[in-house]
C-alpha cells in the first residue's frame, strides 16, 4: 500500500468516531423529528397537516410571530449595544474602560436560572426596584416580568457579554497603523468607522448574529419562568404541546421549523468561515 493510501485510511479512522457521534446525536434525531412531523393527527398517514396548522391556527401563528419578533429585536439590540461597547473598549481609555473590561463578562459565569431569578426579584411588581421607587414616592412600576420586556431584558443580559467579547477580539485585530494612517490622511471619525473599522469586523458581526439568533430562538429557561402565558416563544409552546397536550407530531413540526430557521442562519456562518479559509 502506498503512503498516501495509508494516510487516507488513518484520516478516515480518525473521522469515524466523530461521525458516529454526529450520526447518533444529531442526524438520526433530526430525521426522526422530520418523520414524526409529517404524521397526521390520527397517526395513520403522512402529510403537511401539522405545518399547515402551525401557520393557520391563531394561537400557533401568534407564537411564531412573537418568537420571530423577540428573536430579531434581541439580536439587533444585542449587536448594536455590544458593538458600541467593543468600540469603546478598543479605542477608549481611562478608569471607566478599565472597569468595563474587568466586569462586562461576569454575566457569562452566572447560571441562567440564577440570573432569571435575579430578574424576578428585582423587576417584578413587588421586587427591589419597585420598592425602591415606592420610597421615592413613585407608586407605579412598569410591567417587565411576565412580559415581552422581561424576555428582551433577559436576552440582552445573556448575550451582550459573549457578543462583546467576540467583537472586541475582532476590533483588537485591527492594526493601529491602519487607524493612524487614516487619521493622518484626514479621515474623520465617521469616515474612519464606515470605511475601515466596520469592513474589518463585519464578518465577526455575522458570526455573533448567528450565535445570538440561535441562542434566543432556542431559549427555554427564561421564557418559561418570566414569559407571558400567551403568546409564548416556540420553545415553551413546544414543551406544552408535547407534555400537556401529548401532541408529539405537532411538537415535532415546531421543532423542525425552529431547526430550519437556525439552519438559515447557520448558512451565513458557514459561508463566512469558508470565505475566511479561502482568503487565508
Identify the pLDDT of residue 70.
95
Enumerate helices (H) and strands (E) in the chain, giving the number of each. 14, 0
pLDDT tens-digit profile of 101-160?
888 888 888 888 999 999 999 998 888 988 888 888 888 888 888 889 999 999 999 999
pLDDT band at 278 (very low <50, low <70, confident <90, very high): low
Cβ neighbours around 112 below 10 Å, total: 15
3-state DSSP assignment of residue 159? helix
3-state DSSP assignment of residue 46? strand
Q: What fold characterizes domain 57-279?
A: MetI-like fold (1.10.3720)
What is the CA angle 195-198-204, rounded to 5? 150
Residues 6+ apart with CB under 8 A from 205: 79, 83, 167, 170
Identify the pLDDT of residue 10.
80
Question: Residue with C-alpha cell 493601529?
Answer: 176
Question: Is pLDDT at 3 greater than 90 in this prediction?
Answer: no
DSSP code, position 26: I
Cell of 96: 471607566
Question: Is pLDDT at 1 greater than 70 in this prediction?
Answer: no
Instruction: Give me the helices (H) in 92-111, please.
Output: 95-103
Identify the pLDDT of residue 276.
66
Q: What is the dihedral of CA 158, 161, 162, 163, to 10 degrees?
A: 100
Which class for 147: exposed (0-12), middle (13-18), buried (19 or more C-beta within 10 A)? middle
The model's pTM: 0.87
Q: Convert 40-107 into a string of H (helix), E (strand) and C (coil).
A: CCCCCCECCHHHHHHHHCHHHHHHHHHHHHHHHHHHHHHHHHHHHHHHHHHHCCCHHHHHHHHHCCHH
pLDDT tens-digit profile of 40-63?
877 678 888 999 999 999 999 999
Amino acid at each position: 500500500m502506498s503512503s498516501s493510501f495509508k494516510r487516507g485510511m488513518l484520516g478516515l479512522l480518525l473521522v469515524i468516531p466523530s461521525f458516529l457521534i454526529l450520526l447518533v446525536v444529531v442526524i438520526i434525531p433530526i430525521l426522526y423529528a422530520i418523520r414524526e412531523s409529517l404524521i397526521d393527527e390520527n397517526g395513520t398517514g403522512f402529510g403537511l397537516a401539522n405545518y399547515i396548522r402551525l401557520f393557520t391556527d391563531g394561537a400557533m401563528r401568534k407564537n411564531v410571530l412573537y418568537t420571530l419578533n423577540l428573536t430579531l429585536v434581541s439580536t439587533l439590540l444585542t449587536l448594536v449595544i455590544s458593538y458600541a461597547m467593543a468600540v469603546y473598549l478598543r479605542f477608549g481609555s481611562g478608569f471607566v474602560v478599565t472597569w468595563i473590561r474587568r466586569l462586562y463578562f461576569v454575566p457569562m459565569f452566572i447560571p441562567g436560572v440564577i440570573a432569571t431569578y435575579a430578574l424576578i426579584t428585582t423587576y417584578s411588581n413587588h421586587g427591589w426596584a419597585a420598592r425602591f421607587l415606592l420610597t421615592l414616592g413613585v407608586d407605579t412600576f412598569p410591567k417587565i416580568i411576565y412580559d415581552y420586556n422581561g424576555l428582551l431584558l433577559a436576552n440582552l443580559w445573556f448575550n451582550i457579554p459573549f457578543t462583546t467579547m467576540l467583537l472586541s477580539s475582532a476590533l483588537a485585530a485591527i492594526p493601529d497603523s491602519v487607524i493612524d494612517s487614516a487619521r493622518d490622511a484626514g479621515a474623520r471619525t465617521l469616515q474612519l468607522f464606515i470605511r475601515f473599522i466596520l469592513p474589518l469586523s463585519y464578518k465577526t458581526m455575522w458570526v455573533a448574529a448567528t450565535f445570538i439568533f440561535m441562542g434566543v430562538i432556542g431559549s427555554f429557561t427564561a421564557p418559561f419562568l418570566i414569559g407571558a402565558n400567551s403568546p409564548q416563544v416556540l420553545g415553551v409552546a413546544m414543551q406544552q404541546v408535547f407534555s400537556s397536550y401529548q401532541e408529539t407530531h405537532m411538537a415535532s413540526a415546531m421543532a423542525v421549523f425552529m431547526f430550519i430557521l437556525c439552519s438559515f442562519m447557520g448558512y451565513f456562518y458557514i459561508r463566512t468561515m469558508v470565505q475566511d479559509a479561502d482568503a487565508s
